[in-house]
Amino acid sequence: MQKGADPAVSVIVPMHDVAQYLPDFLTCMAKQSYGDYEIVAWDDGSDDDTSAICARVAAKDPRIRLFSAENQGVAGARRSALAKARGTLITFADPDDMLDAAYLERLVRAVTEHDADMAVCRAQNFEDGSEPPASAPDSMLEEVIGRREAASRLCDRFFVDDDHSIRPELWGKMFTRATMESMTIPQLRTCSDYPAVTDAICTSNRVAVVHAPLYFYRMARAGSLQTKLSQSKLNDIWTVHEYATDACQALAHVEPVHLYRETVGTVFYLNEKIMASAGAMPLAEVRANYCRYRAYLRAAGVHRGLNPKGYLKLMLYRGAFAPARWAFDHLG
């Protein structure tokens, strides 16, 4: 990036108490094969050394722009950082995760060469406390799909393999400025990604899919919102599910089977969170049951021979709401 020129890419990085992980994240950013970027780092009221660590690195790398404010939650932090972004392309990353060295290069190329409105790559999970995966294989396989197919894959993510799913998180994706303008990031404590990604997909004409795991997601980080459960979080999960299915139906015209799969997948996701939080069974057993039910539903086709409203009502009660009532009655 030439001095004084706007960067091609803005990387939006909301930060809150991530001092333990931030050095590794900034190191992986420094190793990116594509260098025409800025990091818009927004410290969202951290109580640890997050801001100080970022400031020290920023003093040596002018591509890092650090902003700080009182805590407003990840959704507000992302919106505030977006207002400061100067790039023509936008991507998001969480500072406790890691990126493949080719992450920016592959996504920039996918957007520009395919004249796409957004690009997505695969993600690979790794457990907190373990080493992140090795660099992704140099797979050049890419495809371009329309909004209907992209929305269908978003809804089908619980039932298809990683190669053909699209995750609902903002990270692992790159958006044009025009696409960003169509996105809503609601002020929720959790799950604010899903409506934004849905908006982007449902207003995109061309979505470039990069079939390589370039984003490495850290699971079960201590203190992460993903490890906590509350009634408001359950409500948020269901609220964004309804928002997404309505948009996918109205704007992308996906077929009912994909909407049913999204609903059933959400129910089992809620059930997994509830049962694990309630201590009703070990987490490993919950996950095994979830995979077993998912495989059964996939084989059954979910929708065949079923009355959608009656079936979903039964699933909601047995799969989520009844255990939720028990959990919160007993746990407070």
Q: What is the pLDDT of residues 113-162, one digit of tens each?
A: 999 999 999 999 888 877 777 766 666 689 999 999 999 999 999 887 77
Measured between alpha carbons, how far is residue 304 from residues 55, 165, 294 in Å? Answer: 57, 22, 15
Note the pLDDT of residue 332: 46
Count CA within 13 A, CB hemisphere, residue 69: 14
For residue 202, give the amino acid letter: C
**Residue % of the chain over a pLDDT of 90:** 57
The mean pLDDT of 88-105, rounded to a whole number, is 96
181 phi and psi, to 5 degrees? -65, -20
User: Mean of the per-residue pLDDT values for the chain?
Assistant: 86
Q: Measure the CA–CA gap between 281 and 64, rounded to whole angstroms.
A: 45
Task: Tell which residue, 208, 199, 180, 204, has the closest CA to residue 79.
Answer: 180
CA distance 248 to 239: 14
- Phi, psi (degrees; rounded to nearest 5) at 97: -100, 180
Q: What pLDDT, in 10s, does the model give residues 245-275? A: 999 999 999 998 899 889 888 888 888 777 7
**Region 210-226 average pLDDT:** 78
